[in-house]
Amino acid sequence: MSEPASEQPIGTISHRRDVRGVYTHLRRRLRVQLRAPSDAVHNERTMYLEGAFQAVSNAGAMSFVSVFLVRLGAPTWLVGIYTALPALVTIMAVLPMGSYVQHTRNLKATLNWTRFIFRGLFGSFGLLTYLPVTIAPYFLVGLRSLAAIPGAALNVAGTTLLGKATTPERRPGMLSTRSAIIGLFSAALGLLFGQWLSAAPYPLNYQLLFASAFVAGLGSIWAISRLRLLETPTVSAVARRKIGLREMLPLIRETAAFRNYAIAALVFRLGMDMPMALFPIYRVRTLGSTDAWIGVLLTVERLLSVVSYMVLGCLLRKPQFQRWLWLGCLGMPLFPLTTALARTPEMLLVPEVLAGLIAPIMNVFMTNTLYQVSPEDQRPTFVAADSFLANIMAFAAPLLGTFLADAADIRVALIVIAIIRVVGGLSFWHLGVGIERPEGAAL
């Protein structure tokens, strides 16, 4: 403990050292403040680059796995299991993986090695062409389900790191711009990959397609390694505890902001996931759309989403626009409603245009709100909890949608789903979800 200042004569060596120490401390603080914006801009540009690498996998291997499964001769029931089983594995794996990410000391390293395993498994899909056709489809479903385990950790770590990459004020704009870049590359690469699969001989076409996902994963790993993460608070004792299903429910109840978000998101995701199996059935069986026309529809939606994300990237730099993002959820009922009203394949352009313009608003709202309602020092735990609830809906809601269509009519089912989406969108408003609050504030 230092002596009282009145007992230290001015001009002494001790006083000069104190002044010099204060000056050094202020200079370091000023240097940190000046460097923080450049770090944020550097990280944003790095995430844009990583998004371009991610688009290679999204538009290529991830989009054509189910087609490849059919090429391998999988029966219809196995294709259904392929859709549901990864969600079940994720439900079981995401909370332990969230706890692991919560305790990791190097978030970038965790993200990179889980991505290496995940993309490595996808890259191995091309080797299944050397197996007998009687067992190859089953190996594909097994490997895809196994990939859900590192995929759960990848999702939690990636979402957490994305929240750390920039400041809370700049984050909505960064999310929009990154999604625009992913959408632009995905639209262009999706057409190229489709042409490649048609022109190149089988199985070389799919072997190189899945290999490209692994190579793009290496590019993402390199990009993530360049991040300069902003400083984060010391992890509290609460954040260090392991979270399982038994601990998750009390945690949600005790965190009011996340609880309200989880309730509204469950209702909204019910309406979002219910028609996932109905859309392709309505396009192909009810309206008789060709594969080429469906490809055009997807391209239109992707290109319009790029425009929407770019506009959002500019608008959301101003905080006053961020509070209205929840209105994007109220626009999502228009997609199943206009789909149900379509009577020709050409009329499907209307819902695709609406989806391309409105869905980006909803996506940015959901992602940014998750960051708002989750304490930063416990974010991996809350991201895992959100993923757990989302995958429950991803598994159960499509089954409810098909049951509703069988019990009534597919058009009636789509209209009912649109009403559920309206209720879900209004739930965010009713529960006050998405209201801006300082990060780290008590929730």
In a domain, 239, yes or no: no
Could you give phi then psi for residue 436, rounded to 5 degrees? -65, 135
21 within some domain:
no
Domain boundary among 159, 193, 228: 228
Tokens at 395, concatenated = 């598994």
What is the predicted pLDDT for the residue at 412? Answer: 94
Integer Cα distance of 197 and 60 in angstroms: 10
If asked whether residues 222 and 272 sit together in one domain, one would say no
Whether residues 148 and 258 share a domain: the answer is no
Residue whose entry in the numeric block shows the structure tokens 């859900």: 148
**Residue 324 counted as domain residue:** yes
Burial of 183 by CB count in 10 Å (0-12 exposed, 13-18 middle, 19+ buried)?
Answer: buried
59 and 142 housed in the same domain: yes
221 and 248 share one domain: no
Query: Is the same domain home to 249 and 223?
Result: no
Boundary-marking domain end, from 178, 201, 228? 228
* Inside any domain, residue 431: yes
Report the amino acid identity of residue 233. P
Q: Which residues, 6+ apart, have CB-to-CB distance to 239 below 8 Å? A: 102, 375, 377, 378, 381
Token pair, residue 296, equals 């055009």
Amino acid identity for residue 58 in this structure? N
| Domain termination residue (choose one: 196, 228, 260) | 228
The verdict on residue 3 lying in a domain is no
b (16+ CB within 10 A) / e for 284-312: eebbebeeebbebbbbbbbbbbbebbbeb
pTM: 0.75
Distances (CA, A) of 25 to 4, 8, 118, 156: 21, 21, 45, 36
Which pLDDT value is given to residue 130? 92
pLDDT of residue 114: 95
Q: What is the CATH number of the domain that holds 278?
A: 1.20.1250.20
| Same structural domain, 189 and 282 | no
Q: Identify the three-state secondary structure at position 244.
A: coil
pLDDT reported for residue 332: 94
In tens, the pLDDT along 260-277 reads 999 999 999 999 988 887
Write out the residue range of the structural domain in which residue 188 sits.
29-228
Note whether 274 and 417 are same-domain residues. Answer: yes
Domain shared by 158 and 266, yes or no: no
Number of domains comprising the chain:
2
> How far from chain centre, in Å, is Cα 426?
22
Whether residue 33 is contained in a domain is answered as yes
The answer to whether residues 311 and 274 belong to one domain is yes
Burial label for 25, CB within 10 Å (0-12, 13-18, 19+), is exposed
9 located within any domain: no
Q: Residue 315 has what pLDDT?
A: 79
- Amino acid 237 reads A
Long-range contacts of 290-296 (CB under 8 A, 24+ apart): 290/345, 293/345, 293/348, 295/191, 295/194
Q: Which amino acid is at 164?
A: K
Q: How many CB atoms lie within 10 A of CB 346?
A: 12
Q: How far apart are CA 349 and CA 326, in angstroms?
A: 25
Domain co-membership, 127 together with 258: no
pLDDT score of 204: 93
CA distances from 339 to 272, 278, 288 (A): 14, 10, 14
Return the number of other C-beta atoms located less than 10 Å from residue 438's C-beta: 8
Segments of the chain with pLDDT less than 50: 1-15, 19, 22, 26, 29-30, 32-36, 232-239, 437-443
| Same domain, residue pair 169 and 50 | yes
Q: Are residues 254 and 211 in the same domain?
A: no
Enter the tokens of residue 211: 């290999």
Does 19 reside within a domain? Answer: no
Assigned token pair, 142? 């097994």
